[in-house]
Structure 1
Amino acid sequence: MHIHGLIEDSTALANLCSRFATKPYICVDTEFMRENSYWPELCLIQIADDEEAAAIDPMGGIDMKPLLDLLTENEDVLKVFHAGGQDIEIVYNLTGKTPHPLFDTQVAAMALGQGEQIGYSNLVDTYLGITVDKGARFTDWARRPLDKRQIDYAICDVTYLSEIFPRMLDKLRKTGRGAWLDQEMERLADPEHYRNDPDLAWQRVRVSSRKPEVMGRLKALGRWRELEAQGKDLPRGRIIKDETLADLAGTPPRKQADLGRVRGLSAAWANNDIGGRLMAALEAAVPMPVSEMPGRDDRKPALGKDGALVADLLKLLLKIRAKEINVASRLLARSEDLESLAAGQREGLSILQGWRFEQFGKDALALVEGQLGFTVKGGKLKMTRTEERS
């Protein structure tokens, strides 16, 4: 494989992207800093196929359009990531689009029995028998110049991935499990997962109350904090902590001067501009409509005590089946699906559709309907079919 090192020239990047644009897949990784900012600061992008690899420096004025177009506009090239959520978020922030089509090796590992969240180092060790050098993990990627060891470390992330991906794809084809991942990959590529909507920011904060007035104030405060954080490019918690936001929603101050006595706020908020904007947000708050209230899904019946016991049996069945077919249980079914099934819901459940139904949902439904039971034979738990009785 030809390693280009660090690309800092727009022409060199354009030429590289034109070659990658003809390939069936490329592997992508990023290095970024976000500890002190709302928006992640992109410091490096690494990209490779099976023939060449490079790191691109986005901090020196290079024209990134050829690369961003390759990632978001070229539908013929598969983009391969490992645990790519934050990498995808960065591309979305830059373009308003997500890389597509994409493949995430961490998600694919779930279908191959390698755990629910296998780390990159373990993946490399499993497939290549190589111990990843972790010495540069805590690099300040925003600092320039980067030395050769840092650049080599960063590029290895995609060169190893370019070797692992074809092997993983071959396993998926041999096991017939490639189609199992289509829904998960499309979910990862959905731009809605990466859009920071200020009107939905309240959902990040836990509050015990479900009063419409409290929830309305929480929504208003969540929107206010999100806009403040975006405008100042600061982490949300630097503006105001979640617990303080929840306290203000539950017990709102009557006037701005009261902010000086709120735990978690500086006394200066009693008369400064940001305190004034907070008070304006509270004053404009309206009770949250029933349609927006959390935990009120009319489509999901209540479990009850017996339903909870059935849900526990379904979770046991899930554990057994996941072990039998060597797949991560979270890929087969989620707890909320099991609870919905136990409560009597049948419509709209992923476990009653497609491959999930064949591998698990069919038996889960049989268990709920009394046609499947558990027995112990030779000290081992077994599933047995039962005769349906009238």
Structure 2
Amino acid sequence: MQIHSLITDTESLEKLCERLARSDFVAVDTEFMRENTYWPDLCLLQVASREEAAAIDPKAEGIDLAPLLELLVNNEEVLKVFHAGGQDIEIVVNLTGRTPHPMFDTQVAAMALGLGEQVGYSNLVESLLGRSLDKGARFTDWARRPLDKRQIDYAIGDVTHLAELFPKMLDRLMKTGRGAWLDQEMERISDPANYLNDPATSWKKVKVQSRKAEVLGRLKALAAWREVEARSKNLPRGRIMKDETLADVAMHPPADQDALGKVRGLSPAWRTNDIGGRMIEALGHARPLPPDEMPARDERSPGLGREGALVADLLKLLLKIRARESNVAPRLVARSEELELLAAGRREGLSILEGWRYEEFGRDALDLVEGRLAFAIRNGKLVMTRTEVESVS
């Protein structure tokens, strides 16, 4: 594989992308910093095909990333390969409003191959390629210039290994007939909505010890205000106000701005500064959360009583057994929320009752819930037994 030096000009990038456009896939990785910012600060982009690999410096003076972004989001002939690509994809969405497409994530593929639920990149490389990765430059300051050779070699190494991993994993998937298992997951991670932070829904990520509509309404207003403040200042949300403080203010709203000086977690300066005034204004516009937006009493176990919770536990045990037998990560087959919905009586709209998931697990899960399947101990081993005539699919 040909390894290029760092690309720092648009003309070289255009020529690279013209060659990559003739490949069947391109491995992609990024290096970024976001400890002190709301938006990730893109510091390096790495790409590799079977034939070549390169790192692109987005901070180079005058460089235009348009050729690379065109390849990532508009070229449907080239598959884009990531490993645990959520944050890399988020960067592309921030730049273009779109996700790379079509897309393949080797961490998701590893679940279908029984290599673990969230297998790390270094473990995957060691398992499939028999190599140990140099992690020495992992926590380097990628924003500092110039980048040294060790940093560049480390960064390009990530995509060269990824370009080797992908064909091996694809071959295994084809041999096991599990390629189709990934279609739904790949489409899910291709949805741009997964990477956009909507101020109107940001309150759902904040834990608060109350289900009162008034409290949740204030929480919604405050979380939206914080999101807008963080974006405008390009600061992490926690630098504006920590979640704990946000929840506390929603539950115990101050009478006026002067009272902000007594709120734990806020500086006394909030009594008189502009940001304190904007927060009080946001609180003043808060309205009780409408009934149709109220969260379920227990979103993980909607309508699930004590007996239903026991059934959900049995389903989770069954999932572990079937996943072990099939050598697949349980999380790829079913999530806890779906098992709890099935135990609570839901039958519509569950992915475990459709397609390959139904064949691998859903049929038995339904039989267990409806009393046609039971656990038993035989010769010291846990086994499944039919309690009546086997269900007809």
Q: TM-score range by the shorter chain?
A: over 0.9
Structure 1 gap ranges (5+): none
Structure 1 counterpart of 2:11: 11
8 Å CA contact 1:7–1:56 kept in 2: the answer is yes
Would you say 1:80 and 2:93 are equivalent positions? no
Contact 1:370 1:388 survives alignment (8 Å) = no
Q: How much does 1:23 deviate?
A: 1.1
Q: Measured at CA, do residues 297 and 237 of structure 1 come closer, stay the same or move farther in structure 2, by a change above 3 Å?
A: closer
Corresponding residue number in structure 2 for 1:51: 51
Aligned to 2:144: 143
Shift of 1:192: 0.3
User: What's 1:121 paired with?
Assistant: 122
Which aligned pairs between 1:1-390 and structure 2 lie closer than 5 A?
1-60=1-60, 61-295=62-296, 302-388=303-389
Do the aligned residues in 2 keep the contact of 1:256 with 1:270 (CA within 8 Å)?
yes
Provide Cα deviations, 1:124-143, integer angstroms capped at 9, x if missing partner.
00111000001101110000
1:65: Cα distance to partner? 0.1
Work out whether residues 2 and 52 of structure 1, in 8 Å CA contact, stay in contact via their aligned partners in 2: yes
Structure 1 moving runs of 4+ over 2 Å:
none
CA contact (8 A) 2:84 2:107 kept: yes
User: 1: CA distance between counterparts of 2:370 and 2:197?
Assistant: 42
Superposition deviation, residue 297 in structure 1 = 9.0
CA distance in 1, matches of 2:223, 2:168: 45
Shift of 1:388: 4.8
The amino acid across from 2:280 in the alignment is M
What TM-score does the superposition give when structure 2 sets the normalisation length?
Answer: 0.97
Q: Quick one: which amino acid aligns to residue 294 of structure 2?
A: M
Equivalent pairs, count: 389
Stretches of structure 2 lacking an aligned partner (at least 5 in a row): none
Spell out, residue by residue over 1:358-389, the C-alpha distance to the aligned partner (whole angstroms, 9 max, x if none): 00000011111111111212211111222259
Aligned-partner Cα distance in 2 for 1:258–1:318:
52
Q: Aligned in 2, Cα 1:7/1:331: closer, same or farther, shift over 3 Å?
A: same
> Is the 1:72–1:100 Cα contact (8 Å) retained in structure 2?
yes
Query: Any conservation in 2 of the 1:7–1:54 contact (CA below 8 Å)?
Result: yes
- What is the identity percentage for the equivalent residue pairs of Structure 1 and Structure 2? 70
Change (3 A) 1:297 1:311: closer
Residue 302 of structure 1 aligns to a residue whose secondary structure is coil
* 2:296–2:302 CA contact under 8 A, matched in 1: no
- Deviations along 1:334-353, one digit per CA (max 9) or x if unpaired, are 11111111111111111100
Q: Distance in 2 between matches of 1:329 and 1:186?
A: 19
Root-mean-square deviation over aligned CA pairs: 1.4
Residue type at the aligned position of 1:269: W
TM-score normalised according to structure 1 size: 0.98
Q: Which amino acid aligns with 1:9?
A: D
Following the alignment from structure 1 to structure 2, what is the Cα–Cα distance between the partners of residues 360 and 201? 34
Kept in 2: contact 1:116–1:330 (CA 8 A)? yes
CA–CA separation in structure 1 for the residues paired with 2:157 and 2:294: 47
- CA drift at 1:301: 5.5
